[in-house]
């Protein structure tokens, strides 16, 4: 049935069911999504590019497949994709000048799986250049606003994807998470963001930032939608040697299973003096919510979590310095005019990369250099191993670990751009799970006194996504997070 | 231990270590499905992975690992069940990713050795390590194209990502001859076990030599100089010889040897400085996060062992024991396929004849047809057909000369030797009547020679034999010919 475009749009499951059941067409769903983007993205600027023509072709193809009797778990679901993932026919630029005009020849594995499942790709979303940042302000293209307050950051680096879901443009978006790049913006924008266990989702077609940390994951409006999108994109891929052969299981079913009789441990290291009062109060509410869901609440310590930011900025930058060496102007991307090889490299990279990317390349190059290798890179890798062991010990006592997703609600645009260190600290709660390769989900857990979203993060042991979704689903049902359009969009 | 006698009678003791890069004989590249090709159009064998497009990931070629394991087994090296790859970071246009994926702190194999022959008997040069890595592309600084200005450099990435294994020897080589012998042995081994075609001209086997000298064997090793650009075994030997002499001269003058890399310049027959080690790059090695640990389980070990052919030295010994002359055994084991060809032939004919014919006529024809020893099994005359010919020779049914003619015919015909012998009428003339007729005719038409013979010049007898052999096209048995001539001379009344 025709529904007015301004009607409250539905989520992933409802949309897929309506299109699969023939109640709505993928073309209709897409038309409405594009109308919402048209009406609202002037304020939010979540999209770098809206690819309507290609999306309509995809929507028509989905309608034909549904008519032919194909069962598609994401039938007609409009999805926004972060600009660091390959979508056939679209550019993939990582919001960087150095990748201007780069057009991959095929879909990333995750994107191909979404396509096979019936998803329709609305466009490419804004991000911090090469996923390096926590506010999306490091994009070389544009600044994205938080739909809850347009003067605030959407978080980052997947800020465009988080804002697109928060603004109700699309029911789901895809992001990538290296140290919190899905979870931190999701929390800032009041949506669900999930980073799978390292190796669950193929990285083929994801432009690498830090190879041992990067994971692709969904941003959605609820836990069950995240589980649906995740189960579509997850699973072994022969094109990614680090992908896990373990079966994905039934995370969607698990999200409705409940968490009664299980134990959750609140991270002791998070509840320290100086914690934001809104965040501290929220943690108290969350303990009650878990108890209401029938879970036992305790406190656990992961001592090395406090070293996570230090470890992360050595390891991630070291890998990035190597991963970004390929951007030399020789084979693709813009090439600076130069008369010799060295100036070709220097000019191309100087004009192609933004300040934060250069900072991390320098940091990483330094950490790997002869004379410093042991003191920085090797020491960080040892500490990373110890941190993982801390988590193992913690998970021997609890089924899931809980901590805030963000240390404060979304800060103002421009507030931290001159202070990289305080920007780095925005990821203090998300980085530990990245270093240990653990699955972690954030869900909106309340509002600050200023009316901004707060986020709670749940961590589970490696590959224990089912337990994670069970905990997240149970908690979500206990939290009454407002469902109306965010204030910035009203 | 050998040393170099200098004109001033100052002995120097060279210490030489060799680093060999061998291109592994795989179908596809090390980390992508691109074919490993030779002489193709520039950049035809490339894909987004080996061109390092952002978003691509390497996937290890299992075959390359199995080949490296095979080499390790053949050299008695210890295969490590848990090794890994690292990134060697540096910028150069022929290196698409800005790093080379190689094995650094945990190579696939360590230890083992290569047995070489020296004037003082056989000796084993121990190996430090064997590791896997990918090749880089090729930069062309002097473009061969008229429409491309000389200020432009071109890059061909067909080689980028081609699997290599690096074989590093301990510094135990003592002379240029030993270095040549080591390389000859290693090249033979690589070919024999099907790990590499080891063709130095094509760049599929590359050697760098580390050379230092000292004035006595008790001294610690001297400063080492690395020599590159050695693209034949002969150049390796020449370059090492010159380098030893250059360093000896320096030491005699009381100079210090500088730690550096030098290039062999064939035109001037000397080594020239390339770069000093003080400008050495910091490669910032770290474990490759895109590939997991390289774990080799028992099944993989057995697979590598099962596909391991008999090694050249063992095979040579076996051939010697079977009665093959030493020099033939050496030739026959220069390539596994040639040894196979020989053994398949010898199984159906006499070993001695087979060795003689395969190392002689067959190899001569192969050379003429540009068939390498590695392609022996594709020689148009199969071992079974050759054996058929050899059996006829052994039975005396044809002469050696006819045998050569038949072999030539067999190359262009699928027919068996026996059929060709009949067709060409090359069968031995064993019919005494036929030989008597020919002998009588010659005696009758050569009164001058007969008179000489009768006058006591018995050497003329040989002339008659030659005539008969000529007339019968060499098909007659020499002793039968002699008998027929004797009879003819006796019955001649002239």
How does pLDDT run across B334-378, given as a tens digit for each residue? 888 899 999 999 999 999 999 999 999 999 999 888 888 888 888
Interface of B with A in 56-115 (CB under 8 A): 56-60, 87, 89, 91, 93, 96-99
The SS3 of residue A484 is coil
Partner residue opposite A241 with nearest CB, options B51, B286, B291: B291
User: Do A141 and A213 fall within a single domain?
Assistant: yes
Q: How many angstroms separate the CA of residue A127 from the nearest CA in chain B?
A: 16
Q: Residue B6 above 70 pLDDT?
A: no
The pLDDT-based confidence of A5 (bands split at 50, 70, 90) is: very low
In a domain, A18, yes or no: yes
**Could you give the domains of chain B?**
4-300 (no CATH), 310-424 (no CATH), 432-493 (1.10.10.410)
- Rounded Cα distance between A429 and B310, Å, is 60
- B6 to chain A, any CB pair closer than 8 A? The answer is no
Quick one: closest CA in A to B93, which residue?
A330
Q: How many angstroms separate the CA of residue B53 from the nearest CA in chain A?
A: 8
Tell me the per-residue pLDDT of B134-181, one tens digit each, with 9 for 90 and over. Answer: 999 998 887 777 787 877 889 999 999 999 999 999 999 999 999 999
The pLDDT-based confidence of B301 (bands split at 50, 70, 90) is: very high
Q: Residue A130 above 50 pLDDT?
A: yes
Specify the CATH number for the domain of residue A164.
3.90.1300.10
User: Do A46 and A164 fall within a single domain?
Assistant: yes
- Rounded Cα distance between B1 and A131, Å, is 62
In a domain, A72, yes or no: yes
The SS3 of residue A32 is helix
Closest CA to A189 of A416, A445, A459, A444: A444
User: Do A317 and A245 fall within a single domain?
Assistant: no
Decide if B377 contacts B341 (C-beta within 8 A).
Answer: yes
User: Do A91 and A183 fall within a single domain?
Assistant: yes
Q: Residue B493 above 80 pLDDT?
A: no
- Rounded Cα distance between A486 and A152, Å, is 13
User: Do A249 and A316 fall within a single domain?
Assistant: no
DSSP annotation of A146? B
In a domain, A432, yes or no: no
Give the CA distances from residue B161 to residues A72, B35, B102, B133, B478, in Å, rounded to whole numbers and listed in that order. 39, 10, 11, 8, 64
Say whether A82 is catalytic.
yes
Chain B residues in contact with A240 by the CB 8 A cut-off are 57, 59
The SS3 of residue B260 is strand
- Rounded Cα distance between A135 and B147, Å, is 50
The pLDDT score that the predictor gives to residue A60 is 98
Pull the structure tokens for residue A22: 């023939």
Q: What is the mean pLDDT of residues B457-470?
A: 85
- pLDDT, mean over chain B: 89
Pull the structure tokens for residue A379: 């020491």
Q: Please list, in sequence order, all residues whose beta carbon lies within 8 angstroms of the beta carbon of residue B179, skipping any fewer than 6 positions away.
A: B16, B18, B173, B209, B236, B237, B240
User: Do A54 and A183 fall within a single domain?
Assistant: yes
The SS3 of residue B57 is coil
The pLDDT score that the predictor gives to residue B253 is 87
The pLDDT score that the predictor gives to residue A8 is 53
User: Do A194 and A322 fall within a single domain?
Assistant: no
Burial B160-188 (b: 16+ CB within 10 A, else e): bbbbbbbbbbebbbbbbbbbbbbbebbbb
Interface of A with B in 214-273 (CB under 8 A): 238-242
User: Do A222 and A323 fall within a single domain?
Assistant: no
Whether pTM > 0.80 for this model: the answer is yes
Q: What is the mean pLDDT of residues B112-126?
A: 92
User: Do A176 and A52 fall within a single domain?
Assistant: yes
- Rounded Cα distance between B421 and B398, Å, is 8
Tokens 């075609």: give the residue. B197
Check A134, A139, A157, A255 and give the catalytic one. Answer: A157
In a domain, A486, yes or no: no
- B161 to chain A, any CB pair closer than 8 A? The answer is no
In a domain, A460, yes or no: no
Note whether B99 contacts A377, CB cutoff 8 Å. no
Query: To probe the interface with A, which of B30, B57, B157 has the most A CB atoms within 10 Å?
Result: B57
Give the CA distances from residue B427 to residues B401, B437, B442, in Å, rounded to whole numbers and listed in that order. 11, 18, 22
In a domain, A422, yes or no: no
Decide if A192 contacts A222 (C-beta within 8 A).
Answer: yes
A263-267 vs A78-82, strand pairing mode:
unpaired
CA dihedral of A172, A174, A178, A182, whole degrees rounded to 10: -20
- Rounded Cα distance between A47 and A39, Å, is 13
Note whether B284 contacts A238, CB cutoff 8 Å. no
Percentage of chain A exceeding pLDDT 90: 93
Lowest mean pLDDT across A115-119, A187-191, A235-239, B427-431: B427-431
In a domain, A348, yes or no: yes
- Residues A391, A392, A394, A400: is their CA dihedral positive or negative? positive
- Please count the structural domains in chain A: 2
Decide if A134 contacts A417 (C-beta within 8 A).
Answer: no
Note whether B57 contacts A238, CB cutoff 8 Å. no
The pLDDT-based confidence of B10 (bands split at 50, 70, 90) is: low
- A208 to chain B, any CB pair closer than 8 A? The answer is yes
In a domain, A118, yes or no: yes
DSSP-derived secondary structure for B10-21: -EEEEEEEEEEE
B82-83 vs B78-79, strand pairing mode:
unpaired
A263 Cα distance to chain centroid? 26
Q: How many angstroms separate the CA of residue A100 from the nearest CA in chain B?
A: 12
Chain B residues in contact with A99 by the CB 8 A cut-off are 54
Tokens 């039938």: give the residue. A75
Last residue of a domain, one of A213, A234, A254: A254
The pLDDT score that the predictor gives to residue B306 is 92
Last residue of a domain, one of A368, A388, A416: A368
Lowest mean pLDDT across A367-381, B156-170, B264-278, B448-462: B264-278
Q: What is the mean pLDDT of residues A365-377?
A: 95
- Rounded Cα distance between B189 and A303, Å, is 55
Q: What is the mean pLDDT of residues A311-319?
A: 98
- A435 to chain B, any CB pair closer than 8 A? The answer is no
Partner residue opposite A322 with nearest CB, options B87, B96, B155: B87
Q: What is the mean pLDDT of residues A195-224?
A: 98
- A99 to chain B, any CB pair closer than 8 A? The answer is yes
- Rounded Cα distance between A311 and A179, Å, is 11
- Counting Cβ atoms within 10 Å, is residue A433 exposed (0-12), middle (13-18) or buried (19+)? buried
Q: What are phi and psi of B428, to 5 degrees?
A: -60, 140
Q: Residue B112 above 90 pLDDT?
A: yes
- Counting Cβ atoms within 10 Å, is residue A328 exposed (0-12), middle (13-18) or buried (19+)? buried
Q: Please list, in sequence order, all residues whose beta carbon lies within 8 angstroms of the beta carbon of residue B413, skipping any fewer than 6 positions away.
A: B420
Note whether A325 contacts B58, CB cutoff 8 Å. no
- A86 to chain B, any CB pair closer than 8 A? The answer is yes
- Domain range spanning residue A335? 311-368
Check A181, A244, A255, A317 and give the catalytic one. Answer: A181
Percentage of chain A exceeding pLDDT 70: 98
Last residue of a domain, one of A368, A397, A417: A368
User: Do A170 and A98 fall within a single domain?
Assistant: yes
Give the CA distances from residue A457 to residues A12, A94, A182, A308, A454, in Å, rounded to whole numbers and listed in that order. 22, 26, 12, 16, 10
Q: What is the mean pLDDT of residues B313-335?
A: 90
Give the CA distances from residue B261 to residues B243, B273, B277, in Å, rounded to whole numbers and listed in that order. 12, 6, 7
The pLDDT-based confidence of B276 (bands split at 50, 70, 90) is: low
Quick one: closest CA in A to B155, which residue?
A330
- Residues B404, B408, B409, B411: is their CA dihedral positive or negative? positive
DSSP-derived secondary structure for B365-434: HHHHTT--GGGGGGSSS-HHHHHHHHHHHHTTSS-HHHHHHHHHHHHH----HHHHHHHHT-S-B--HHH
The pLDDT-based confidence of A70 (bands split at 50, 70, 90) is: very high
Q: Residue B255 above 50 pLDDT?
A: yes
Q: Please list, in sequence order, all residues whose beta carbon lies within 8 angstroms of the beta carbon of residue B470, skipping any fewer than 6 positions away.
A: none
Dump strand ranges (E) for A1-73: 47-50
Q: Residue A6 above 60 pLDDT?
A: no
Q: Please list, in sequence order, all residues whose beta carbon lies within 8 angstroms of the beta carbon of residue B230, skipping any fewer than 6 positions away.
A: B206, B207, B208, B209, B236, B239, B264
The SS3 of residue B476 is strand
ipTM of this complex prediction, to 2 decimal places: 0.96
- B279 to chain A, any CB pair closer than 8 A? The answer is no
Q: How many angstroms separate the CA of residue B88 from the nearest CA in chain A?
A: 9
- B155 to chain A, any CB pair closer than 8 A? The answer is yes
Partner residue opposite B284 with nearest CB, options A105, A205, A369: A369
Say whether A181 is catalytic.
yes
The pLDDT-based confidence of A365 (bands split at 50, 70, 90) is: very high
Q: What is the mean pLDDT of residues B297-323?
A: 91
Interface of A with B in 296-335 (CB under 8 A): 318-319, 321-322, 324-328, 330-332
Chain A residues in contact with B290 by the CB 8 A cut-off are 208, 211, 241-242
Note whether A331 contacts B51, CB cutoff 8 Å. yes
User: Do A47 and A189 fall within a single domain?
Assistant: yes
Query: To probe the interface with B, which of A81, A243, A322, A378 has the most B CB atoms within 10 Å?
Result: A322
Note whether A86 contacts B55, CB cutoff 8 Å. yes
Note whether B89 contacts A368, CB cutoff 8 Å. yes
Partner residue opposite A322 with nearest CB, options B55, B89, B155: B89
User: Do A340 and A213 fall within a single domain?
Assistant: no
The pLDDT score that the predictor gives to residue A84 is 98
């Amino acid at each position: 049935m025709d529904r007015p475009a301004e009607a409250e749009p539905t989520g992933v499951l409802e949309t897929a069911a309506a299109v699969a059941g023939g109640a709505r067409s993928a073309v209709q769903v897409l038309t409405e999504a594009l109308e919402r983007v048209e009406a609202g993205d002037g304020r939010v600027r979540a999209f770098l590019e809206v690819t309507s023509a290609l999306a309509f072709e995809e929507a028509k193809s989905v309608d034909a497949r549904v008519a032919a009797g194909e069962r598609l778990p994401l039938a007609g679901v409009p999805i926004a994709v972060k600009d660091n993932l390959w979508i056939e026919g679209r550019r993939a630029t990582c919001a960087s000048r150095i990748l201007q005009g780069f057009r991959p020849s095929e879909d990333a594995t995750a994107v191909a799986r979404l396509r096979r499942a019936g998803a329709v790709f609305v466009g490419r979303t804004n991000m911090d250049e090469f996923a390096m940042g926590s506010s999306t302000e490091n994009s070389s293209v544009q600044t994205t606003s938080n739909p809850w307050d347009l003067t605030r950051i959407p978080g980052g680096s997947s800020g465009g994807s988080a804002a697109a879901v928060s603004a109700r443009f699309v029911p789901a978006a895809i992001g990538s998470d290296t140290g919190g790049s899905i979870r931190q913006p999701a929390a800032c924008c009041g949506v669900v963001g999930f980073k799978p266990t390292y190796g669950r989702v193929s990285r083929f077609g994801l432009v690498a930032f830090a190879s041992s940390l990067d994971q692709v994951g969904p941003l959605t409006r609820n836990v069950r939608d995240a589980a649906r999108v995740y189960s579509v994109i997850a699973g072994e891929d022969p094109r990614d040697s680090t992908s896990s052969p373990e079966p994905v299981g039934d995370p969607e079913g698990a999200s409705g299973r409940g968490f009664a009789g299980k134990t959750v441990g609140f991270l002791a290291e998070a509840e320290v003096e100086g914690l934001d009062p809104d965040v501290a109060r929220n943690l108290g509410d969350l303990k009650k919510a878990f108890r209401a869901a029938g879970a036992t609440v305790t406190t656990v310590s992961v001592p090395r979590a406090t070293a996570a930011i230090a470890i992360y900025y050595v390891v991630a930058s070291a890998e990035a310095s190597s991963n970004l060496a390929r951007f030399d102007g020789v084979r693709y991307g813009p090439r600076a005019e130069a008369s010799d090889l060295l100036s070709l490299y220097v000019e191309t990279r100087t004009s192609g990369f933004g300040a934060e990317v250069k900072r991390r390349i320098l940091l990483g190059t330094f950490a790997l250099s002869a004379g410093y290798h042991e003191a920085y890179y090797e020491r960080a890798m040892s500490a990373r191993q110890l941190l993982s062991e801390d988590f193992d010990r913690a998970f021997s006592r609890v089924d899931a670990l809980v901590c805030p997703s963000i240390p404060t609600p979304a800060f103002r645009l421009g507030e931290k751009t001159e202070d990289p260190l305080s920007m780095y600290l925005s990821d203090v709660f998300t980085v530990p799970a990245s270093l240990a390769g653990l699955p972690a989900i954030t869900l909106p857990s309340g509002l600050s006194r200023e009316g901004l979203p707060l986020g709670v993060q749940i961590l589970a042991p490696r590959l224990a996504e089912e337990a994670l979704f069970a905990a997240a689903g149970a908690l979500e049902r206990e939290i009454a997070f407002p469902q109306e359009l965010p204030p910035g969009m009203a | 231990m050998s040393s170099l006698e200098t004109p001033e009678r100052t002995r120097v003791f060279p210490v030489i270590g060799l680093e060999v890069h061998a291109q592994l004989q795989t179908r596809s590249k090390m980390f992508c499905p691109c074919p490993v090709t030779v002489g193709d159009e520039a950049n035809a064998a490339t894909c987004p992975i080996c061109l390092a497009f952002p978003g691509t990931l390497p996937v290890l070629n299992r075959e390359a690992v199995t080949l490296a394991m095979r080499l390790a087994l053949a050299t008695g090296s210890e295969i490590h069940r848990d090794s890994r790859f690292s990134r060697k970071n540096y910028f150069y246009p022929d290196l698409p990713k800005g790093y080379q994926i190689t094995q650094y702190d945990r190579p696939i194999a360590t230890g083992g050795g290569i047995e070489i022959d020296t004037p003082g008997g056989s000796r084993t040069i121990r190996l430090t390590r064997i590791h896997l890595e990918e090749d880089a592309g090729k930069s062309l600084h002097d473009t061969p194209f008229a429409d491309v200005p000389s200020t432009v450099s071109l890059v061909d990435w067909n080689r980028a990502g081609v699997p290599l294994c690096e074989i590093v020897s301990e510094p135990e080589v003592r002379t240029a001859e030993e270095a040549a012998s080591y390389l000859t042995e290693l090249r033979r081994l690589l070919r024999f076990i099907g790990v590499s075609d080891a063709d130095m001209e094509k760049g599929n086997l590359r050697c760098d030599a580390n050379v230092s000298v000292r004035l006595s064997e008790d001294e610690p090793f001297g400063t080492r100089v690395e020599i590159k650009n050695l693209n034949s075994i002969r150049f390796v030997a020449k370059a090492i010889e010159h380098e030893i002499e250059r360093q000896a001269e320096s030491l005699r003058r009381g100079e210090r040897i500088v730690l550096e890399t030098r290039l062999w310049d064939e035109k001037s027959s000397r080594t020239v400085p390339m770069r000093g080690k003080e400008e050495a790059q910091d490669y910032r090695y770290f474990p490759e996060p895109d590939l997991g640990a390289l774990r080799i389980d028992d099944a993989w070990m057995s697979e590598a062992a099962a596909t391991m052919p008999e090694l050249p030295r063992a095979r040579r010994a076996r051939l010697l024991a079977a009665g093959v002359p030493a020099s033939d055994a050496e030739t026959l084991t220069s390539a596994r396929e040639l040894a196979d060809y020989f053994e398949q032939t010898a199984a159906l004919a006499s070993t001695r004849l087979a060795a003689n014919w395969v190392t002689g006529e067959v190899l001569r024809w192969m050379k003429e047809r540009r068939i390498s020893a590695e392609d022996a099994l594709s020689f148009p005359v199969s071992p079974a057909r050759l054996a058929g010919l050899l059996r006829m020779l052994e039975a005396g049914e044809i002469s050696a000369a006819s045998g050569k003619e038949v072999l030539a015919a067999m190359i262009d015909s699928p027919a068996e030797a026996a059929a060709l012998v009949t067709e060409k009428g090359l069968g031995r003339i064993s019919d005494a009547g036929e030989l008597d007729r020919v002998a009588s005719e010659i005696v009758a038409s050569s009164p001058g020679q007969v008179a000489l013979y009768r006058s006591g010049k018995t050497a003329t007898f040989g002339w008659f034999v030659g005539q008969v052999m000529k007339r019968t096209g060499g098909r007659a048995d020499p002793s039968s010919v002699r008998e027929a001539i004797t009879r003819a001379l006796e019955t001649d009344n002239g």
